[in-house]
Structure 1
Amino acid sequence: MSSNSDRVIPVYGLPRAAPGQTSEPQHALPPPPTKRTRPEHAPAPAPRRAPSFPAAPASWIVALAAGFALLLGGCRSREDASLVRLRESGVIRIGYAVEAPFAYVSGNQVTGESPEIARIVCRRLGIPHIQWVQMPFDELIPALRDRRCDVIAAGMFITDERRRLIAFSIPTFQVRPGLLVQRGDPHHLGPDSDLARDKALHFAVLSGSIEERWFEGHGFKPSQLVIVPDAVTGRAAVEAGMADALALSSLSIRRLSGGNGATEAILLQPAAGMQPGFGAFGFRLGDKALRRAWDGVLQTFVGSAEHRRLVARFGFGPAEIPTLTVASHQTSR
């Protein structure tokens, strides 16, 4: 679109000036006005009245008001459609990846910290049916952006990199990082070990996880990382000696180590270099109405007695429950 500029608009129908004349035509002076008298007994002329127009029908006024309302509310209608659409259809598609205790399948039931909270939120938002969509962890964000699911419920950590792609709810948990190693910790990876210095070791990480990004950011070569699609495959890599350790959240590591006794969990301290993570639900950037309504439920639910009883089933204790101050800070960043 061209920029605004002054335009010259030609005016047609005006007489052109003759040669030697100015552009404005010359006119003779009109004769002086003469005084006209009215006969003595002639009636005075009736006063002129301003023309009247018929009143606009009420239906016109209503239509105009509705039009203005649509114009003014147009910006909000797009935002509101994300929640209204799901309520009208009665079905929401929730994407998840298998990583206990955040999301996994028990029998024929999808369960875990994130799916169980999602059920409560959907019920309170008036969305009766959930369609669960299982996929590898690194496909969750692309699937959400491509509208193959409506919400991510997989215990996904909030990161600045992910914030550029999707929006997050307020966090529902906070956890420290951990390592799953072979029984006896043959490589002496203790809670205070400086992982960035252990460049001779091989670590299993979930594809697309913050652990993968951490090792890449600290100079680890691709050959030192064993990329796995889920936590169970990562444990198998450690048990088979393909990886010296699996890097994951402490909650997942504790759950994985309770299997056949071939592995054990290490809860990493801050000296190891990895920071605690905050997990939340994921939404498309444009689905503001859905995210705000979801947060409205979480603000009164997270930290409540009902919430604590629910997540205790999955190993979450008081240390894993974020405070309202922490939750607000993570959301507003």
Structure 2
Amino acid sequence: MRTDRLARSLVATAATAFLLTALPASADEALDALKAQGFARIAIANEPPFTAVNPDGSVSGAGPDVARAVFKRLGVDDVVASISEYGAMIPGLQARRFDAVTAGLFMKPERCAAVAYSQPILCDAEAFLLKAGNPLKLKSYKDIADNPQARIGAPGGGTEERLALEAGVPRERVIVVPDAQSGLTMVQQGRIDVYSLPVLSINALYKQSGDTALEVVAPVEGAPVYCDGAAFRRDQTALRDAFDTELAALKASGEFAAIIEPYGFSADAAINANRDALCAQK
């Protein structure tokens, strides 16, 4: 009998411990953990101007720079980045490999259901990189779907991949591209006919290439404007709310504009956008 009571007691204790660890941490608890850690771990895609890893290994780009400024206001000294494919960012966040995602991960309903987004940070439209003269006359994702010869490259799990598939491009003609340099090379070599990324990313890639045999179509006809935000785990809405408070102060002070506008982003677009509306946008 005593053994049964002891077993029940151990089970109850274990269940209580599980419930306590499963409860959402308060903003103070989450912040204390990050302060003790000394940095916030962020996921990025190394896609300038959203995110970038410099030759010396340091992290820049509009997303990490805003995250660094906000976390500093919260008392967290720095950010440490890990490069990830878009499709792996949310699973990595949920598995606690990152503390946040600050990578041009545009808001859409299924992502908003999986993570706790901050208010908008970076907004952009979609663009195509293709051969000069646009030989296949591709100006929209539907144009690619309607041309049985056209192949599009896009980041795996990214918005561009989804837009292509939703426009009716067959899966076998949507080529997953691991990074921007690979996308550029694949267009140059004729392995894909168009590479799709946000306008600012495509323009930065095109400018860096110096290849006059290429051109940019921007913005893509019929594609919506999207905004990202810093993404946190669903059990860390208190930390997200604290981030939002300092993000709002950063926007109001003018520092936000000073950070992102040199990268080509519009501060007004992010300030005037709203998370709830963006999360409802298909």
Q: Same fold (TM over 0.5)?
A: yes
Question: In structure 1, what is the Cα distance between the partners aligned to 2:151 and 2:22?
Answer: 51
Name the residue aligned to 1:299.
248
SS for the counterpart of 1:93 is strand
Equivalences, count: 257
Name the residue aligned to 2:216.
265
Whether the 8 Å CA contact 2:187–2:194 is kept in 1: the answer is: yes
Matched, 1:327 2:241: no
SS for the counterpart of 1:187 is coil
Shift of 1:245: 0.5
Shift of 1:162: 1.0
Matches within 5 A, 1:222-301: 222-258=171-207, 259-261=209-211, 262-269=213-220, 272-301=221-250
Shift of 1:141: 1.1
Whether the 8 Å CA contact 2:109–2:279 is kept in 1: the answer is: no
Question: In structure 2, what is the Cα distance between the partners aligned to 1:311 and 1:120?
Answer: 11
Query: CA offsets per residue over residues 34-55 of structure 1, 9 Å max, x none?
Result: xxxxxxxxxxxxxxxxxxxxxx
Identity of aligned residues (%): 28
Shift of 1:301: 1.9
Question: In structure 2, what is the Cα distance between the partners aligned to 1:77 and 1:225?
Answer: 39
Which residue of 22, 30, 37 corresponds with 1:82?
Answer: 30
Name the residue aligned to 1:218.
167
Whether the 8 Å CA contact 1:204–1:225 is kept in 2: the answer is: yes
Structure 1 unaligned spans of 5+: 1-73
The AA in structure 1 aligned to 2:176 is I
Shift of 1:150: 0.4
Matched, 1:145 2:105: no
Which residue of 262, 265, 280 corresponds with 1:313?
Answer: 262
Higher helix share: 2
SS for the counterpart of 1:170 is coil
Name the residue aligned to 1:98.
46
The AA in structure 1 aligned to 2:122 is F
Shift of 1:104: 1.0
The AA in structure 2 aligned to 1:78 is A
Question: In structure 1, what is the Cα distance between the partners aligned to 2:279 and 2:139?
Answer: 35
Whether the 8 Å CA contact 2:227–2:278 is kept in 1: the answer is: no
Matched, 1:184 2:133: yes
Shift of 1:299: 1.3
Give the number of the structure whose alpha-carbon radius of gyration is greater: 1
Question: In structure 2, what is the Cα distance between the partners aligned to 1:118 and 1:318?
Answer: 15
Name the residue aligned to 2:154.
205
Question: In structure 1, what is the Cα distance between the partners aligned to 2:52 and 2:233?
Answer: 23
Shift of 1:322: 2.1
Give me the TM-score of the superposition, normalised by structure 1. Answer: 0.70
